[in-house]
Amino acid sequence: MANGAVPVLVGAILSQKPRLVEAGARSLKFLMQTQAQQVGAVVTAEMLAQLVERLDADVYGVTVAELVATVVARCCVTTSLQGVLVNSGGLQRLLTLLASQQDKVRDAALDAIASLTKDNVAITQQLVDLDYGSRGGQQQQQQRSPVAMILTLVKDLNPHTRLLASQCATNLTKCIKDIAFVQEVKSLVLPTLLKLLDAPGSVQELTPIVLGTQHAFLSYF
């Protein structure tokens, strides 16, 4: 099914008709949730680069950007496709979505960043290098940095946002290994995840998995 459906749905997302774009994005998101591996195997570098353009919420709207963000990172089943996403400006656009006031948009961006930085140290390093600078730099610069944004979202009111941001924050420790930063991540992430064990719904179900992974990784430092 994915072989035939993916090109059609990507074509719909690239349409100039807003309703068709949104319908295509919703359908591709659903397909990714049920047939992620099959979809990832069909997506080409050209398709991915075109999808990245739809992450621009100012042009295509926040709904389309949110739906596409949910899909694009999980389409990147190879290091090569992950590189295409970054080279097409996808990482920068995902970071822009982190500033959204809408929980769904912000969470979609966090989910994509968590997926991209889970096993790809090169992408994690690029994210850190964008504008992180030194921890001793100007406060205004730190507040704008991806690192500061993610750490702030670990303390967000939304439980799902806190869970996703905790994943991203721990992934960052692969590239920022100074003891002060690791201790900051530990002091934020581990208590947050422990509290999320009492959160309702899917957050409670996913937290033990994330907690085990994150604690194992952070225990090396």
Predicted confidence (pLDDT) per residue in 54-100, tens digit: 999 998 889 889 989 988 877 887 888 899 999 999 999 999 999 89
Residue 126 sits in which domain range? 1-130
Mean pLDDT (whole number) for 21-36: 84
108 and 170 in a common domain: no
Domain count across the chain: 2
Predicted confidence (pLDDT) per residue in 165-213, tens digit: 999 998 888 787 778 888 888 889 989 999 999 988 889 888 988 888 7
187 and 99 in a common domain: no
Predicted confidence (pLDDT) per residue in 131-151, tens digit: 544 444 444 444 468 888 999
138 and 164 in a common domain: yes
Contacts of 216 by beta carbon, 8 Å cutoff, 6+ apart = none
Which amino acid is located at 133 in the chain? G
* 201 Ramachandran zone, left/alpha/beta (phi>0; psi -120 to 50): left
111 and 160 in a common domain: no
202 and 114 in a common domain: no
Is residue 121 a contact partner of residue 175, using CB atoms and an 8 Å limit? yes
Residue 131's pLDDT is what? Answer: 54
Final residue in a domain of this structure, among 130, 151, 182:
130
Is residue 203 a contact partner of residue 196, using CB atoms and an 8 Å limit? yes
What the block records as the tokens of 32 is 């990714």
Task: Tell me which residue of 168, 149, 160 sits closest to 98, measured CA to CA.
Answer: 149
141 and 87 in a common domain: no
Final residue in a domain of this structure, among 90, 114, 130:
130
